[in-house]
Structure 1
């Protein structure tokens, strides 16, 4: 078993934090080009998925996409539960994790991949053909991210963590969104005090220190 990852990217980081929370250790291969904003050509040529994270199983098969990989390990190692146990809890966590990905991760991706020159012909990941940037998506991405901050700040006004009173994958995805947004100088607005409180708490977890 081996996890293909890229240290600077938010989606692989979601899996790495998840594994650290469960204290699962597996071999990891970094496939990003050092100092560059793209994956190694040999990885792209040999893996049709063309994205990370990518988990290679012992039988040679692959599982792609962060939450699919997390679900695989949650099934194998249910403790501590990060994706819920009761039907309602599972649904609530999945809902908020999905909202973090749709409203947050996609928003910052729109901004970042359409504003940086290094992605001039690679505005979407996973494609072998050229995909040009769309300048209008820069401002739309920023606007979407602002709404993400407001929505999650309101949710955290009544909850210790994103999906309730326990740390879950919804918190992991939200944290990775915010850290990547901060890298792009689009961090949490000062007025989002609930989100600020939550961020300072989860940033101190041991899984974030590894």
Structure 2
């Protein structure tokens, strides 16, 4: 088994944090996204979309998409639960994972997609659209701040989950693009501090 990964890629980072939180060690095959190693013919045979992460099992089975890879390891090692231990918890974690992907990660990811030269062959880049996402980010952070106003540390039932891992990926992108969380949102800042304090933050 090996994991094709690179810590600079937000989806790859999600799997690395997930594994760290589980205490699972998997051999890592580094893939340098900055020099387009994901676009080589050899890598495209593993993932035709030219994206990481990719998990390759010992029998040659390939699993792509970060959440699918995380689901595989959740099934192999249920504890600590990061995707919900009961049907209700699993549904709630899924709900919050979707919210974090669409409402929080989405704007900063779209900003990068439409401004970084690396993605020029992936989408028709529209810089003006990227600027709309910059203006949207404070509104989305304010929404999350209101959601966290009950004092909970983590977004789903006050238990660290894959939804928070998506938040970690968002914060790493915010650091990279220099678009920090607004200082006037105490609840989000409390949540941010809790994530940055976790040992898995430095994956």
TM over 0.5: yes
Q: Equivalent residue for 1:155? A: 147
Separation in 1, partners of 2:39, 2:4 = 11
Q: Secondary structure at the match of 1:105?
A: helix
CA pair 40-50 structure 1, distance change in 2 beyond 3 A: closer
For structure 1, list consecutive stretches of 5 or more residues without a partner in the other structure. 124-131
- CA shift for structure 1 position 38: 6.1
- CA shift for structure 1 position 53: 0.8
Query: Normalising by the residue count of structure 2, what TM-score does the alignment of the two structures yield?
Result: 0.90
Q: Is the 8 A contact 1:43 1:50 kept in 2?
A: no
Q: Equivalent residue for 1:74? A: 74
Q: Equivalent residue for 2:174? A: 181
Separation in 2, partners of 1:136, 1:38 = 29
- CA shift for structure 1 position 87: 2.1
- CA shift for structure 1 position 42: 4.5
Q: Secondary structure at the match of 2:179?
A: coil
Separation in 2, partners of 1:39, 1:138 = 24
Q: Equivalent residue for 2:15? A: 15
Q: Equivalent residue for 2:198? A: 205
CA pair 38-146 structure 1, distance change in 2 beyond 3 A: farther
- CA shift for structure 1 position 105: 2.2
Separation in 1, partners of 2:117, 2:87 = 45
Alignment of 1:186-197 (within 5 A): 186-197=179-190
CA pair 38-56 structure 1, distance change in 2 beyond 3 A: closer
- CA shift for structure 1 position 160: 1.9
Q: Is the 8 A contact 1:182 1:188 kept in 2?
A: no
Separation in 2, partners of 1:106, 1:199 = 17
Structure ranking higher in helix proportion: 2
Cα RMSD of the aligned pairs, angstroms, is 1.8
Separation in 1, partners of 2:44, 2:172 = 30
Q: Secondary structure at the match of 2:38?
A: coil
Separation in 2, partners of 1:7, 1:149 = 24
Q: Is the 8 A contact 2:153 2:194 kept in 1?
A: no
Q: Size of the alignment, in residue pairs?
A: 201
Q: Equivalent residue for 1:135? A: 127
Please identify, of 69-78 and 96-105, the stretch whose mean Cα deviation from structure 2 is larger. Answer: 96-105
Q: Secondary structure at the match of 1:55?
A: strand
For structure 2, list consecutive stretches of 5 or more residues without a partner in the other structure. none
